[in-house]
Chains A and B, each alone.
Chain A
């Protein structure tokens, strides 16, 4: 019975609301637009990103193996285990089962092409095999440029290859003298369809360069920005190593059992049948390990912990965005409720109780939310479809078909209904509280100031204080709860501030007596209509607080980045890695780098000496291997050490790859001339750039030497300790190699100093090189096989400044929106007052002045409350980041705490400009003529 009454009451309320939708079209359209915005954004972005970045399994498979049944990739020689997806995770079976504990087993020998084919034939005797050959680094030359890229040889004419490649222009290579290039490679080489390109060959090995004609431009849907070349199997192959692979057709589905048999031979297999219908996890060996991207359970745990801070920030951003919607739509519902208060009073007079009146207002929220949900979905999908072609290019892969998940869509659409309900909540309560007779008599029943606001503000202050405590101490208790407590604290501060808003508006209104007419009237009017003003000011301050918090955090992060930045090289230097012929390299680069003032080659410690007759692994470390302590241990507070798990980013202080040289090398590499460092290097010692490692002028190093043998039991391991003279050198802001070991020390410890392909050529220039010069130099070096790559120091990348500006602009836009909506509603609500003003002689500008003042009041109060709240939030975020899991687990060692840095200029501009621009906009955009007549007979 009670439920029936409740249901009937809701049905009646929904019927009234449905009819009301078309009665006040402008305001309802505004509400629908606001409620639809998050649905539109969520659906649009989600559809866009999901479609662009996450093609379905079938789409991924087609991009990988086209129309073939399977792809068999080159065997590593040893047994493997693999996952079941289109780009399988592969792991050596010996690594997986623990029979290769230190990775010291010799690398198995990959079988020859003929042997591989024979192995494949034993398992798939009837299959049609379409061979592919991939050379990882083939050098191509255009007219004046070079590029070292992947070179893939496959029968491009086979219709089953469709989907792996997309022909962009021209045609597919039909003869051995033709080649297809990816658009990125063609652009880099500066060639077009019909022009020649040259496959560079090693003349020292007696091979000739090969010239191809570009037949067409072909892109890989999975990697549209990559540089690749495609030719027929009959075309000349590239120098160097290449991998074989075979596409399989003609045998139907390749089952999981068959794939596991291929595992035994070491062939990774991508099978259509397996990818589209994967076996249960119980049938996939090491499925837990392979399924987590090869990092096992620990990896997953770390990933989750790393995700906590971004998730917290994401939650704050989403929370503030949804709060904004509710706060912006709330005033519109409040004004609507005010307009209809006589109607509600008559319903009350007819017997409707408070709950029923509340339902009628809430039903408005439900109906408008539903309309917004449908509109947001439609617009979101439409926008996603329209932008897909552009977004695909940005992410470097072609988008798949638009995916629609019905439960997800329904969830998002219901979000609009939920937001509508939330927005209507406060006006609904206000309507239910109004006195019927007072409303019918036209007497004002909305309360101003007084106890209600004070009580609410009291609770607000309490909540904000609790939030502060949670934010402050949350970032100190433990990494696992820090993000949650800080987020909760920020949420409580925001809600607490909202609860205080009406009291603050009232307090401001009570001080308005000395203000000029416009601001005085606007302020008093705002205070009187707290149902309309409070959410508008709250929306404004939430936007400002968000901008201040985000801006401060980004600026602090950029400051940290600048403080931590270690240049790769001196600014007036370029480096050629793995240089093979120094004089020839210098001569070849003369045209590109004309201002060379000097040069030097440097060498580093080699860990694994491939060319030695006795293959062995050298590991030099500052601590015993296996001691799971992160580098930079001295900077980690003892309390936090307990929380450190030995993860994939923790080093036992290994020195492999560090610099070997004397004072001259130190000077050349770092640009530093330090007498103490020079002396230590001359004494056969080591220079370190981390103060904590040096104790009494010495450093103890652990050198572990592993000999490699076919069977683990035959391998030997020796560990020796050496104490070297050491000195700490502060290289903050300069190129920092970590350690500079004297050649004498390297020799004493028996370390291998490689003779080839480990040397770096440093070239000093009269002025810094440009990125274009470096790019051209690299093309020359790679084209002439003089080295691997050419580097320069890129300097601190200040992309955060741009992000900062975008965040501030977005916040400013939100603020303008909040002010515009609130001002528009205030003007609509205050028509009677404007008519009175006109009647008593207000000039046409009076209304504009009033509109400007209203906007100024809302934005001004928003800025006044928002700026401190934003700073409080940003302090929490900075503290969280400094404590945080990100710093501990993925960027360790965090040598510099994030400094609290405020982007004063940007924030100042926003705090001053937004209120002024909003006020000016309101003045210019509001009609100067008072609306309607006072009373029409």
Chain B
């Protein structure tokens, strides 16, 4: 993965996102600071309404902060035009959603090839690359199926294939296992982890501490603020063990103890 950038792939600096005005103002995120380096997978946990999806939307340039900066590979997203932002999303950022967000009118192969086609690649070549990406996630030969002809796990792996296709350096996954059984969830997370191990930066939003265990560190959010963090530099292993305590501090219900990856 040729990449000249040596700093954090994504850096969220003093990020605040508010909705509404005056008394009706709701602050979804307040003063968030977070950096994710290449090869690192960061899990974000927190109760519903804590701002996890908002954080992911801001990191991916799908939404603009009220204040603060989002910097992806040294580029301030606020300085980019809508067109340039779109280009960044289709070349550098991959998104995985809880409800897959596959386009039902397109086949699995076409869904995966979508970012490449949007980037101007010829459809035939894009589909070939998509087939390869589908093989990587264990869906070889299913490229011509429409989403409704696939199981939930297959759809999510298709969504991951779409998020990983090309040279994505930032993968954002919003509860990618929310609708999957545990076995399929494990498989999906393994794909995600493998991509980060290959050099991408990843942010994984999850409710499940055992899935957070796949991450290098876990950030806890509550009421739009970071209330705790486990793992990170100097804490290579014990992060999973510390998770329950930090989760308790953040008000998250304890889940099953996370296994090691």
The reply on A525 being an interface residue by CB < 8 A is yes
Taking the nearest CB of chain B, how far is it from the CB of A830, in angstroms?
9
A517 touching B53 in the complex, CB below 8 Å, given contacts A839-B60, A840-B90, A841-B91: no
Q: Are A444 and B104 in contact (CB under 8 A)?
A: yes
Q: Are B104 and A528 in contact (CB under 8 A)?
A: yes
Q: Are B86 and A843 in contact (CB under 8 A)?
A: yes
Closest residue of B by beta carbon distance from A832:
B101
Residues of B within 8 Å of A936, CB to CB, are 53
Taking the nearest CB of chain A, how far is it from the CB of B91, in angstroms?
7
Q: Are A841 and B101 in contact (CB under 8 A)?
A: no
Contact bitstring A513-546, B, C-beta under 8 A = 1, else 0: 0001100110011011000000000000000000
The reply on A383 being an interface residue by CB < 8 A is no
Residues of B within 8 Å of A928, CB to CB, are 82
A528 touching B53 in the complex, CB below 8 Å, given contacts A517-B123, A841-B119: no
Interface hits, B69-110 → A, CB 8 Å? 82-83, 86-91, 93, 95, 97-99, 101-106, 110
The reply on B28 being an interface residue by CB < 8 A is yes
Q: Are B60 and A517 in contact (CB under 8 A)?
A: no
Our pick among A517, A835, A844 for the contact of B117 (Cβ within 8 Å) is: A517
Our pick among B87, B102, B114 for the contact of A843 (Cβ within 8 Å) is: B87
The reply on A924 being an interface residue by CB < 8 A is no
Q: Are B114 and A833 in contact (CB under 8 A)?
A: no
The reply on B148 being an interface residue by CB < 8 A is yes
Q: Are A841 and B86 in contact (CB under 8 A)?
A: yes
- Determine the interface band of chain B, counting residues with CB < 8 A from chain A: 35 or more
Contact bitstring B105-126, A, C-beta under 8 A = 1, else 0: 1100010001101110001000
Residues of A within 8 Å of B89, CB to CB, are 838-841
Q: Are A934 and B97 in contact (CB under 8 A)?
A: yes
The reply on B184 being an interface residue by CB < 8 A is no
The reply on B231 being an interface residue by CB < 8 A is no
Closest residue of A by beta carbon distance from B95:
A839
A933 touching B103 in the complex, CB below 8 Å, given contacts A840-B114, A844-B83: no
Residues of B within 8 Å of A835, CB to CB, are 101
The reply on A935 being an interface residue by CB < 8 A is yes
Closest residue of B by beta carbon distance from A843:
B86
- Give bound CA distance, A521 to B51, whole Å: 33
The reply on B67 being an interface residue by CB < 8 A is no
- Give bound CA distance, A935 to B50, whole Å: 13
Q: Are A937 and B48 in contact (CB under 8 A)?
A: yes
Taking the nearest CB of chain B, how far is it from the CB of A391, in angstroms?
50
Q: Are B118 and A525 in contact (CB under 8 A)?
A: no
Closest residue of B by beta carbon distance from A835:
B101
Q: Are A524 and B106 in contact (CB under 8 A)?
A: yes
- Report which residue of B91, B103, B106, B115 has the largest number of chain A beta carbons within 10 angstroms of its beta carbon: B103
Q: Are A444 and B148 in contact (CB under 8 A)?
A: yes
Taking the nearest CB of chain A, how far is it from the CB of B175, in angstroms?
9
A517 touching B97 in the complex, CB below 8 Å, given contacts A836-B102, A837-B103, A843-B87: no
- Give bound CA distance, A833 to B147, whole Å: 13
- Give bound CA distance, A152 to B236, whole Å: 115
- Give bound CA distance, A54 to B163, whole Å: 72
A934 touching B105 in the complex, CB below 8 Å, given contacts A839-B62, A841-B90, A841-B118: no
Contact bitstring A922-937, B, C-beta under 8 A = 1, else 0: 0000001100011111
Closest residue of B by beta carbon distance from A845:
B83
Our pick among B50, B63, B103 for the contact of A521 (Cβ within 8 Å) is: B103
Closest residue of B by beta carbon distance from A840:
B115
Q: Are B62 and A524 in contact (CB under 8 A)?
A: no
Q: Are B106 and A838 in contact (CB under 8 A)?
A: no
Closest residue of B by beta carbon distance from A836:
B101
Taking the nearest CB of chain B, how far is it from the CB of A276, in angstroms?
69
The reply on B49 being an interface residue by CB < 8 A is yes
The reply on B54 being an interface residue by CB < 8 A is yes
A937 touching B51 in the complex, CB below 8 Å, given contacts A517-B118, A841-B118, A842-B118: yes
Taking the nearest CB of chain B, how far is it from the CB of A502, in angstroms?
15
Q: Are B49 and A843 in contact (CB under 8 A)?
A: no
A841 touching B87 in the complex, CB below 8 Å, given contacts A444-B148, A937-B28, A937-B48: yes
Contact bitstring B159-181, A, C-beta under 8 A = 1, else 0: 00011000000000010000000
- Give bound CA distance, A528 to B88, whole Å: 31
A842 touching B86 in the complex, CB below 8 Å, given contacts A517-B118, A528-B105, A934-B97: yes
- Report which residue of B49, B91, B97 has the largest number of chain A beta carbons within 10 angstroms of its beta carbon: B97
Residues of A within 8 Å of B95, CB to CB, are 839-840
Our pick among A524, A845, A929, A933 for the contact of B105 (Cβ within 8 Å) is: A524
Q: Are A843 and B118 in contact (CB under 8 A)?
A: yes
The reply on B33 being an interface residue by CB < 8 A is no
A837 touching B118 in the complex, CB below 8 Å, given contacts A832-B101, A934-B97, A937-B49: yes
Closest residue of A by beta carbon distance from B98:
A935
Our pick among A527, A832, A838, A843 for the contact of B62 (Cβ within 8 Å) is: A838
Q: Are B90 and A842 in contact (CB under 8 A)?
A: yes
- Report which residue of A443, A444, A516, A841 has the largest number of chain B beta carbons within 10 angstroms of its beta carbon: A841
Closest residue of B by beta carbon distance from A930:
B62
The reply on A501 being an interface residue by CB < 8 A is no
Taking the nearest CB of chain B, how far is it from the CB of A473, in angstroms?
44
Residues of A within 8 Å of B83, CB to CB, are 843-845
The reply on A846 being an interface residue by CB < 8 A is yes
Interface hits, B43-72 → A, CB 8 Å? 48-54, 57, 60, 62-63
- Give bound CA distance, A443 to B179, whole Å: 13
Q: Top 8 closest A-B pairs, CB basis?
A: A841-B90, A524-B105, A841-B89, A843-B86, A836-B101, A525-B105, A839-B95, A840-B115
Interface pairs (13), CB distance under 8 Å: A832-B101, A833-B105, A835-B101, A836-B102, A837-B118, A841-B87, A841-B115, A841-B119, A846-B118, A933-B62, A934-B97, A936-B53, A937-B49
- Interfacial residues, chain A to chain B (CB-CB below 8 A): 442-444, 516-517, 520-521, 524-525, 527-528, 832-833, 835-846, 928-929, 933-937
